[in-house]
Amino acid sequence: MITSDDLIALVRSYNPKTNAKMLADAFVYGAAMHEGQFRHSGEPYFTHPVAVAYILAEQQMDDATLITALLHDTIEDTGTTYAEVEKRFSKEIAELVDGVTKLTNLQLNSSETKQAENFRKLFMATSRDLRVTLVKLADRLHNMRTIKSMREEKQAQKARETMDIYAPLAGRMGMQWMREELEDLAFRVLNPEGRNSIIRRFITLQRETGDVVEKIQTDMEHEMDKAGLAVDIYGRAKKPYSIWRKMQEKEQGFSRLSDIYGFRIITQTEAECYAALGAIHQRWFAVPGRFKDYISQPKSNGYRSLHTTVSGRDGKRVEVQIRTVEMHEVAEAGVAAHWSYREGVRVENRFAVDPARWIAQLTERLDEDHDHGEFLDMVKLEMYQDQVFCFTPKGDVIKLPRGATPIDFAYAIHTRIGAACVGAKIDGLRVPLWTRVKNGQSVEVITAEGQTPQATWIDIAVTGRAKTAIRKALREEDRERFIRLGRELVRVSFENVGKNPTDKALKTAGKSLGLGNVDDLLERVGAAEITSREVVTAVYPGLAKSAGNEIDARRAVIGLAADQTHRRAQCCQPIPGERIVGITYRGQGVVVHAIDCDVLATLEDQPERWIDLNWQEGTHSADNTITLEMTITNDAGVLGRICTMIGENDANISDLQFIDRKPDYYRLLIEVDLRDIEHMHIIMTALEADSNVASIQRHRDPDRAGQVQRQS
């Protein structure tokens, strides 16, 4: 086990001014709190917090972070409290330990909706103090290193969680070494045979070709000496999971993969980076399209480096990364570079970019009412995508995920620009909005006043920012449309009972129906989630029409046995006045079909199920729903006038659905509650006479044969 002296010695190697006494006190206190607790492996539990602290000390973290690591499970798993930690150490450490405890309690392996909410909480916690997340990542790394002691199902759960959440998060924080190790440890659990096959092939390749890495590294050192450059060169074969992923992405076998070796050249100055690049390209052939300059265009997490792929010894492709010592610190440590020490003194690395800004920007864009699925999509897009760099006509740089489109570019500039986008030019040429932008291209967004986001843009956009803004705009547009429609439906229903839909009346109805305000009420009516009749009843329950001489719906059909119930078929929606027939269904009673229903043809060979039925004579209640299919002109007020006409003829609209939208017309389905066939003819005649109604017909859907509606 790592002792207190071991940990303090490591910390002193980079920070001679460390508070060794406080570190030792935290070590003793943590050991005492976890006394008698054991890990699945049988080891004392405190070996885990110590190992987490040691991982962070290797990253040269500050004292507060290391003490937090030693105590990170005390509030959750022992008898200590926030107040006790604050009293013994400091408020800063107590808050950090409490933050890690809250992250630990997030159930990240639950349902997607819960997972999305946990992502939100994780990012919110991270934006307050990044050290909380650093401790949690080190905690996960040690747990993955010792995962074999867990049950198999628990191993698989933790490995999937690591692959989906913690490894990408480490990468986004710039800690690429940790991302690679977490991925490989998870890969070992999730696909051990795949990982072993990669390792076996490496061994075979090394047996056949010798130590290729050492040979190529020697060649590179020779070229650097010729160029007069004093550099450090490191070479290695890529991690098994990295190779496996390339095989899956490129759909190639191991033998066809060429860039499985990577080399890093570390220089003293930025100018030497470009000089080293020139020496490499003079000696070996550069692979077209594989050069990236992340020095002039850094990644959003501060990463800077030159990337190139060359055809090296024996034609083997190798990836080469060239950067300075400071750039290398950021590339290796990521966010931990904020706490880096050099020669025993805390220094600020000028290339380190605080990822908290990225996380804060992400959380700021999240309204509390956003759909959880949308948020999860956005987070994954933000975390997983590589980047391309494009230019505005003025030369400003816009960073986008690989595969982004001009729509993403427009929203990256400003939400207003994105919403008004009608076209784009790339390098001066007009292109479709679904075009994928590439590194170095100049993009010009063409806007038009009055333009609004289109639903098809959701499938075109790639960035979370664009998708969220588009969905929000579409929701707002739908809401306004539903409110207008709902207001018209409510007006007609209130007038049918001789009342006015005043704001006070609607507020009363909204309160009765458990809705927040009038607009929410009208939106629900317009979206057919509640009926306008329910709104009237909520305010004036005494005005419901008396049944009077109306026929009881339960006895509306003649020909049934005393113990038989009936339901109207939804495929043909029969109504009083039409010839009907009944079809018996085991356990479902009798389903009533119109005699001309297409579905009956499929039942001709089962005459024993047929029952001759008739409608009762008399006045039926207006509870018989039929569907009308209409084509109307896309002019202001047309839809409202149609709703008014239906209401004026004593019918209620129970649902409305647009099935086609064009600039000059709409096609829609309207479900109307009627008394009988005569009532239907009156309404259809009135609607057909309107000059803005191009066509109207009764809509029947044989596919709904399995759906039935109880007569009520």
What amino acid positions are annotated as catalytic residues?
A: 76-77
Q: How far is CA 458 from CA 318, 383, 452, 468, in A?
A: 38, 19, 13, 9
C-alpha angle 75-79-81 in degrees, rounded to nearest 5: 45
Tokens representing residue 92 in the block? 């800063």
CA–chain centroid gap for 339, Å, is 32
Listed residue (361, 340, 348, 356) closest to 301, CA to CA: 356
DSSP 39-53: -TTSSBTTHHHHHHH
Determine the Cα–Cα distance for residues 283 and 178; give it in Å rounded to an integer. Answer: 33
User: Exposed, middle or buried by CB within 10 Å (0-12, 13-18, 19+), for 49?
Assistant: buried
SS3 assignment, position 26:
helix
Listed residue (277, 279, 245) closest to 260, CA to CA: 245
Is residue 672 a contact partner of residue 699, using CB atoms and an 8 Å limit?
Answer: no
Determine the Cα–Cα distance for residues 4 and 454; give it in Å rounded to an integer. Answer: 62
Helices (H), 105-211: 112-128, 130-145, 152-161, 167-172, 176-190, 192-209
Provide the 10 A C-beta neighbour count for residue 633: 13
Q: How far is CA 201 from CA 162, 208, 248, 249, in A?
A: 26, 11, 16, 19
Is residue 567 a contact partner of residue 590, using CB atoms and an 8 Å limit?
Answer: yes
Which residues, listed in sequence order, are joined to residue 625 by a DSSP beta bridge?
Answer: 673
Is residue 385 a contact partner of residue 402, using CB atoms and an 8 Å limit?
Answer: yes
Is residue 425 a contact partner of residue 386, using CB atoms and an 8 Å limit?
Answer: no
Listed residue (436, 475, 465) closest to 378, CA to CA: 465
Tokens representing residue 112 in the block? 């997607």
Q: How far is CA 31 from CA 25, 27, 57, 74, 93, in A?
A: 10, 6, 18, 10, 17
- The amino acid present at 635, given as its one-letter code, is D
Determine the Cα–Cα distance for residues 368 and 352; give it in Å rounded to an integer. Answer: 31
Bin 334: left if φ > 0, else alpha if -120 < ψ < 50, else beta.
Answer: left
Listed residue (327, 228, 325, 315) closest to 279, CA to CA: 228
| SS3 readout for 110-129 | CCHHHHHHHHHHHHHHHHHC
